[in-house]
Amino acid sequence: MSTRARILDAAVELLGTQGLKALTHLRVDMVAGVPKGSTSNYFRTRAALLTGVVERLAELDLAELVSPPSPPADVDAFVALLAHAVESATTASRTRTIARYVLFLEGTHNEDVRRPLLAGRTFFRSFVETTTERLGATDPVAAATAITAVGDGMIIHRVTVDPEADVLAPINAVVRAFVPSRQTREPE
């Protein structure tokens, strides 16, 4: 792993475990185990470091998606995929998820941080919209809005309130509110 990647991974770790105030060049150096001043050599300003962290998060997310997810074959598979994504974001990728939310809050007044974060969300929302349309939603735009909102809410709830909260039932309910169940016709 390159020194730059070690520095950025340490910055993600700090953001996800200690928050934005912990993100200093010196602390990143310490967590990354690199010589003092290394972070400053790669990222001269705090703004440059934040931009680097956002780019690193996107890089890590892309690495997990070796290829875009296959379109789910049916509603059950779609619900399972979404539930798995929320569970993964709140367990295996919990620190990265918290770091991302810290950055989203920072992005409320820093467009350079916000813009690249929204690009990833746009990709996911497009996937949800396309999938709900393919599965028969009459309003895939509204479906994507509701489904991503419930997913975000479940992530926040599991990270801040109840790490064991059920994910499947709320996601199932919102998906099925927009995607009609397909009735099989009885043979005549």
Q: Which of 41, 66, 91 is the last residue of a domain?
A: 66
Return the ∠ at Cα 174 (arms to 79 and 182), rounded to 5°.
Answer: 65
Question: What are 25-34's contacts with CB under 8 Å, separation 24+?
Answer: 25/49, 32/3, 32/6, 32/7, 33/6, 34/3, 34/6, 34/7
**Residue 132 sits in the same domain as residue 115:** yes
Residue 187 in domain: no
> Using 50, 70 and 90 to split pLDDT, how confident is the model at 188?
very low
Q: How far is CA 123 from CA 11, 76, 100, 119, in A?
A: 24, 22, 16, 6
Residue ending a domain, choose from 47, 66, 85: 66
Tens digits of per-residue pLDDT, 59-70?
Answer: 887 776 555 567
Instruction: Please name the residues in contact with 152: beta carbons below 8 A apart, sequence gap of 6 or more.
Output: none
Q: What does pTM read for this prediction?
A: 0.86
Rounded to an integer, what distance in angstroms lies between the CA atom of residue 109 and that of residue 127?
Answer: 28
Which structural domain, as residue segments, surrounds residue 114? 68-180
167 in the same domain as 140: yes
Total number of domains in the chain: 2
The 10s digit of each residue's pLDDT in 172-185 is 999 999 998 764 44
The span from the CA of 105 to the CA of 110, in Å, is 9
Whether residue 54 lies inside any domain: the answer is yes
